[in-house]
């Protein structure tokens, strides 16, 4: 990549890092907030799902807007909305306000992710793209790595302080993007025009896209069921403190990010995206089930650290695969990626929250079943013969 490409990529990755650092900041204090407001596991699930439902509704429209009005404006708008949503969550003293905050967060996610993915596709070649998307996922994971540790520290000054800090970071990232990003020249891997929104729905069911989109849903469902209730799970089952939760999430984020930086590009070149996805799904399913049977602190550390290796390799592998086959439909593919992520993020937390109130282990049993179904589906997946991957 040229120096200009590297600088632009660095700005994009920095903004993603800042945004997801902001999200990571709030993780250790969520159980405390929930206890303060006397919110049950199922309500937590619905709150996480409110984020995802809004993201689901906004994603197809956002994907089309990314192609129509540009990558930069969608990134800037999404980051501003993210900052606003975090400030609102910090100020909120009722469940209703927290729900509104999460819904705004869903809109921001629908704007940011397809725009950044399309931007990276525009400034990279097919050969460069897997590595660049691996860096993208690593930037997201690294934000989660540092975020919980800083959030646990800031929580010492007040349980709402991490949310205010996240809001400031979101606004800073928006200003950074507005000042330094320039609208890229569009990728033209083929001459096919981007479909309309109605056409987009039909394209989802095409053989080219259907299985990878379903696997995005499976990944998101498993990850959302695992992550959304993890802090409550270890709080109720093992009486973990916010600092304990911060340590575990930080450690797992480090391992996941290292896997992306060190292994992802090598693995995709060695075995291809589809095989990386298959083996990562198997690892994720096994370790999600293992979470229900471990009962020692270091065993929990081990399982949590390595479950994120599986999760963190699947997403850039699917994103890389889709970007290669998308051609001139980068915005459409980014929007659909976001939409199916939202679907998983809706049903994972809702079902997980309901099952959590019945038995602490049930969410992880169900997530394991969904991941196993994903493994079976991935075994029947074949790459298109007419496209070189």
Lowest-pLDDT range of 74-83, 294-303, 367-376: 294-303
On the question of pLDDT at 190 being above 50, the answer is no
CB of 187 closer than 8 Å to CB of 119 = no
Q: What is the pLDDT confidence band of residue 171, given thresholds at 50, 70 and 90?
A: very high
Please report where in the chains the tokens 């797992």 appear, as a residue. Answer: 252
H helix runs in the chain, sequence order: 3-25, 30-36, 41-68, 71-91, 95-123, 129-154, 161-180, 197-204, 210-228, 230-238, 242-258, 265-290, 297-326, 330-358, 362-379
Q: What is the pLDDT confidence band of residue 2, given thresholds at 50, 70 and 90?
A: confident
Say how far apart CA 42 and CA 350 lie, in whole Å: 7
Instruction: Considering the domain delimited by 1-181, tell me its CATH architecture.
Output: Up-down Bundle (1.20)
**Cβ within 8 Å of residue 23, ≥6 positions away:** 143, 144, 147, 166
Q: For the whole model, what pTM was predicted?
A: 0.67
On the question of pLDDT at 32 being above 50, the answer is yes
Please report where in the chains the tokens 């969520």 appear, as a residue. Answer: 30
**Cβ within 8 Å of residue 107, ≥6 positions away:** 54, 55, 58, 78, 81
Q: CB count, 10 Å around CB of 188? A: 10
Mean pLDDT value across the chain: 80
Q: What is the pLDDT confidence band of residue 386, given thresholds at 50, 70 and 90?
A: low
| pLDDT at 191 (0 to 100) | 41
Alpha-carbon distance values, 206 to 193, 196, 202 (Å): 16, 15, 7
By CB atoms closer than 10 A (0-12, 13-18, 19+), residue 261 is middle
Alpha-carbon distance values, 21 to 52, 348, 354, 368 (Å): 19, 23, 29, 28
Alpha-carbon distance values, 250 to 19, 134, 148, 314 (Å): 16, 19, 6, 19
The CATH 1.20.1250.20 domain(s) of the chain lie at 1-181, 197-382
Burial 322-351 (b: 16+ CB within 10 A, else e): bbbbbbbbbbbbbbbbbbbbbbbbbbbbbb
Say how far apart CA 177 and CA 157 lie, in whole Å: 30
Just give the CATH number of 197-382. Answer: 1.20.1250.20
Q: What is the pLDDT confidence band of residue 81, given thresholds at 50, 70 and 90?
A: very high
Alpha-carbon distance values, 370 to 116, 137, 190, 275 (Å): 29, 23, 35, 19
pLDDT in tens, 214-250: 888 887 787 777 776 777 788 888 887 777 777 777 7
Instruction: Look up residue 364 and give its two tokens.
Output: 């992880």
pLDDT in tens, 85-112: 989 988 888 888 888 988 898 898 889 8
Residue 223: closest CA among 155, 287, 292: 287
**Cβ within 8 Å of residue 36, ≥6 positions away:** 159
């Amino acid at each position: 990549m040229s120096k200009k490409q590297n600088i632009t990529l660095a700005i994009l990755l920095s903004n993603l890092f800042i945004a997801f650092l902001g999200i990571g900041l709030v993780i250790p204090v969520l159980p405390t907030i929930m206890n303060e407001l006397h919110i049950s596991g199922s309500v937590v699930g619905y709150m996480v799902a409110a984020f995802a439902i809004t993201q689901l509704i906004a994603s197809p429209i956002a994907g089309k807007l990314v192609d129509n009005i540009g990558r930069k404006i969608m990134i800037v708008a999404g980051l501003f909305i993210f900052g606003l949503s975090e400030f609102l969550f910090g100020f909120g003293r009722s469940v209703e306000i927290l729900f509104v905050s999460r819904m705004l967060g869903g809109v921001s996610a629908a704007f940011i992710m397809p725009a950044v993915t399309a931007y990276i596709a525009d400034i990279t070649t097919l050969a460069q793209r897997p590595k660049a998307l691996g860096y993208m996922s690593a930037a997201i994971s690294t934000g989660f790595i540092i975020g919980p540790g800083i959030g646990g520290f800031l929580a010492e000054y007040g349980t709402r302080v991490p949310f205010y800090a996240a809001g400031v970071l979101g606004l800073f990232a928006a200003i950074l993007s507005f000042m330094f990003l320039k609208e890229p020249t569009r990728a033209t891997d083929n001459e096919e025009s981007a479909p309309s929104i109605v056409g987009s729905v039909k394209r989802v069911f095409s053989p080219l896209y259907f299985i990878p989109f379903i696997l995005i849903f499976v990944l998101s469902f498993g990850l959302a069921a695992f992550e959304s209730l993890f802090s409550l799970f270890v709080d109720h089952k093992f009486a973990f403190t916010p600092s304990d939760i911060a340590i575990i999430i930080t450690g797992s984020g480090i391992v996941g990010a290292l896997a992306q930086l060190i292994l992802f590009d090598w693995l995709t070149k060695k075995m291809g995206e589809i095989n990386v996805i298959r083996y990562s799904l198997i690892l994720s399913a096994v370790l999600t089930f293992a979470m229900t049977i471990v009962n020692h602190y270091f065993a929990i550390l081990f399982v949590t650290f390595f479950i994120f290796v599986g999760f963190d390799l699947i997403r850039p592998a699917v994103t890389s695969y889709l970007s290669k086959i998308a051609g001139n439909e980068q915005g459409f593919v980014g929007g659909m990626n976001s939409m199916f992520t939202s679907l998983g993020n809706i049903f994972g937390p809702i079902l997980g929250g309901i099952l959590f109130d019945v038995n602490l282990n049930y969410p992880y049993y169900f997530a394991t079943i969904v991941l196993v179904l994903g493994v079976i589906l991935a075994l029947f997946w074949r790459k298109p013969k007419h496209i070189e991957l």
